[in-house]
A and B are shown apart, each in its own frame.
Chain A
């Protein structure tokens, strides 16, 4: 029998904040602790519009990595939430982020993907900004009368907060947001393993960017879903690129680290050095003890795979795999982001990263393996996109929206007792604890009244 939200639907928020136009509330149709998530929340324009304000108008978002803008004046065009943003290192070396929109008429001031600039000049009326955001000159400046142009108050609109953790640059539009480190909380311990195990990692080149006709949450949901791997990527089993038994990715732990941050660590074939040390080349392992504590070191050495989500839409994939039938499995580090474009369209970002201390041969092998398996052309990734599109296509209608999805795997599973890391951990990495924790944060965010982030900023 299909499951429905059920129960009395009277738990309206006091201020009607979570009330939907059909008379239901978000709390009644999204019940993460019961593993019941309504199909309505995925592709429905009403819910999407609420998400844009409540999720993407506040909270911390990944903009890029420090290695992408190493020099003064380096800039990349990104998004902070869903607002176009400039991520730039100013002449003094300070990393800054601004709304990519002129203070005058709103024109996009940076119209390329990456630059090195001292000044940004708006093409519309020539308003020019220093790379620290200060407004320097404007067109036809002599036609402004006294008091008409308050240049010192008309710099580019800065983000309300910017934080860097292990080289990862996050920003927020919410002046009331907790500090980044506080927000990441226990997740920092795991970010240390993935992004700090050998000192520093670096992004190689530019991200692959592409768009998929899917609701963003179907992609997001997928990143800590381990048991889809055997079924979705089954084409790789007869080729010998994946083991031929459905449980192969179940040997590990999943962790809910608070604030909707979630992750997995999974073991590979036992007694095979290929699948130790996160799949990194052996010479990199010697760096681990310098940068990791004993619990982190234990986890890094024992596992071949890891996937994690920094709430809401930033992910890492640390994998040990191969993209062709002649190569040995090798470690790859992939950073991912979903940018909602519409209720049914999502822009995907995929970055390839490598340990700075890696050898040239390992870099090459890791890169080739990445590009053959992940991104829009990857022989793993492309089948995921098929799922996300067809899930979206099938939940749009009024009938579908009345039913929940099923997120109950492991709902009664006991917590792990021997996991050395923080957060709540569970044995067996086939389960939906991570998704339930993510939707729990989604519900909390969607039902927490806005604290001014949708209100006019005083001129």
Chain B
């Protein structure tokens, strides 16, 4: 097979669960969750590549034969500037939906990684369960899965280059999406 002059074709990336790379990816996602639950939003923002597209599409109920029900219209459709705007907003004292702040717990599981479109990119799928309590309210829950593209940057670390947040709910029952996913 005459492959293009790409190292990926020459050396397939191993990101199977027994690989060192998989361990890096899992740790990256766990540390990301920790930053969010600890309100370290500036540090969280630093995990994204400059060209990040971060989308949570709206879902509808439909028969299985018609697909999973996700639409182009989204609940969240962000780039790096708009994510930074969100984080800056949360750091004002007037972002009432998070002032005083919600208490979140980001659980990430079922992580699987595959080689991505370039040798430096990995397609990573994970399930999420996020609980939120706020003031004296009980738990709200957000569940679904994420399809991320993680990219190895020049310094050898990982960045999130794409994130699709695929929610289970068609009607978001948790008041609003003022927390980060």
Chain A residues within 8 Å of B, Cβ to Cβ: 111-115, 204-213, 232, 234-239, 241, 323-327, 347, 352, 367-368, 371-372, 375-377, 379, 381-383, 385-387, 389
In the complex, A375→B176 CA distance in Å?
A: 8
Chain B residues contacting A387 (CB-CB under 8 Å) are 96
Among B27-81, those with CB < 8 Å from A are 56, 58, 60-63, 69, 71-79, 81
Q: What are 27 contact pairs spanning A and B, CB under 8 A?
A: A112-B60, A112-B61, A113-B170, A205-B71, A205-B73, A208-B73, A208-B75, A212-B175, A213-B175, A236-B89, A237-B94, A238-B92, A239-B89, A323-B85, A367-B77, A368-B82, A371-B76, A371-B77, A372-B78, A376-B75, A376-B175, A376-B177, A377-B75, A381-B176, A382-B177, A383-B95, A387-B96
Say whether, besides A113-B61, A324-B81, A206 and B89 are in contact (CB < 8 Å). no
In the complex, A210→B167 CA distance in Å?
A: 13
A324 touches B82 (CB 8 A): yes
Say whether, besides A209-B171, A211-B171, A377-B56, A371 and B74 are in contact (CB < 8 Å). yes
Chain B residues contacting A347 (CB-CB under 8 Å) are 171
Taking A327-B81, A368-B77, A381-B176 as known contacts, 15 extra A-B pairs with beta carbons closer than 8 A to each other, sorted by chain A number, are: A113-B62, A207-B58, A211-B171, A235-B89, A235-B92, A324-B82, A324-B84, A325-B85, A367-B77, A371-B77, A372-B82, A372-B85, A382-B176, A386-B96, A389-B175
In the complex, A208→B56 CA distance in Å?
A: 11
Q: How far does the Cβ of A168 sit from chain B's closest Cβ, in whole Å?
A: 19
B85 touches A324 (CB 8 A): yes
Q: How far does the Cβ of B159 sit from chain A's closest Cβ, in whole Å?
A: 20
Q: What residue in chain A is nearest B178 (Cβ atoms)?
A: A382
A372 touches B73 (CB 8 A): no
Q: What residue in chain A is nearest B74 (Cβ atoms)?
A: A371
Chain A residues contacting B79 (CB-CB under 8 Å) are 324
Say whether, besides A210-B175, A211-B172, A323 and B82 are in contact (CB < 8 Å). yes
Q: How far does the Cβ of B174 sit from chain A's closest Cβ, in whole Å?
A: 8
B89 touches A204 (CB 8 A): no
B73 touches A211 (CB 8 A): no
A206 touches B171 (CB 8 A): no
B103-133 Cβ-contact flags toward A at 8 Å (1 or 0): 0000000000000000000000000000000
Q: Which of B62, B75, B85, B175 is within 8 Å of A379, CB to CB?
A: B85
Chain B residues contacting A325 (CB-CB under 8 Å) are 81, 84-85, 88
Among B154-172, those with CB < 8 Å from A are 170-172
In the complex, A371→B77 CA distance in Å?
A: 7
In the complex, A215→B92 CA distance in Å?
A: 28
Q: What residue in chain A is nearest B77 (Cβ atoms)?
A: A371
Q: How far does the Cβ of A391 sit from chain B's closest Cβ, in whole Å?
A: 12
Chain B residues within 8 Å of A, Cβ to Cβ: 56, 58, 60-63, 69, 71-79, 81-82, 84-86, 88-89, 92, 94-97, 137, 170-178
Say whether, besides A235-B94, A238-B92, A112 and B82 are in contact (CB < 8 Å). no
Chain B residues contacting A386 (CB-CB under 8 Å) are 96-97, 176
Q: What residue in chain A is nearest B90 (Cβ atoms)?
A: A235
A383 touches B97 (CB 8 A): yes
Chain B residues contacting A205 (CB-CB under 8 Å) are 58, 71-73
| Nearest 5 Cβ contacts at the A-B interface | A205-B73, A377-B177, A210-B172, A324-B82, A113-B60
Chain B residues contacting A114 (CB-CB under 8 Å) are 60, 62
B176 touches A209 (CB 8 A): no
In the complex, A123→B102 CA distance in Å?
A: 42
Say whether, besides A211-B172, A372-B82, A111 and B61 are in contact (CB < 8 Å). yes
In the complex, A367→B58 CA distance in Å?
A: 14
Q: How far does the Cβ of A448 sit from chain B's closest Cβ, in whole Å?
A: 33
Q: What residue in chain B is nearest A351 (Cβ atoms)?
A: B73
Chain B residues contacting A241 (CB-CB under 8 Å) are 85
A206 touches B58 (CB 8 A): yes
In the complex, A324→B84 CA distance in Å?
A: 8
Q: How far does the Cβ of B96 sit from chain A's closest Cβ, in whole Å?
A: 4
A379 touches B77 (CB 8 A): no
Q: How far does the Cβ of A229 sit from chain B's closest Cβ, in whole Å?
A: 12
In the complex, A385→B173 CA distance in Å?
A: 13
In the complex, A312→B18 CA distance in Å?
A: 60
Q: What residue in chain B is nearest A114 (Cβ atoms)?
A: B60
Chain A residues contacting B86 (CB-CB under 8 Å) are 379
In the complex, A206→B70 CA distance in Å?
A: 10
Chain A residues contacting B73 (CB-CB under 8 Å) are 204-206, 208, 352, 367, 371
Q: What residue in chain A is nearest B93 (Cβ atoms)?
A: A235
Q: What residue in chain A is nearest B135 (Cβ atoms)?
A: A390
Q: How far does the Cβ of B69 sit from chain A's closest Cβ, in whole Å?
A: 8
Q: Which of A204, A232, A352, A377 is within 8 Å of B176, CB to CB?
A: A377
Chain B residues contacting A323 (CB-CB under 8 Å) are 82, 85
B62 touches A112 (CB 8 A): yes
Chain B residues contacting A234 (CB-CB under 8 Å) are 92, 94
In the complex, A235→B60 CA distance in Å?
A: 32
Q: Which of A112, A210, A371 is within 8 Å of B63, CB to CB?
A: A112
In the complex, A210→B170 CA distance in Å?
A: 8
In the complex, A289→B81 CA distance in Å?
A: 37
Chain B residues contacting A381 (CB-CB under 8 Å) are 176
In the complex, A315→B94 CA distance in Å?
A: 26
Q: What residue in chain A is nearest B82 (Cβ atoms)?
A: A324
Chain A residues contacting B77 (CB-CB under 8 Å) are 367-368, 371-372
In the complex, A204→B77 CA distance in Å?
A: 15
In the complex, A376→B62 CA distance in Å?
A: 22
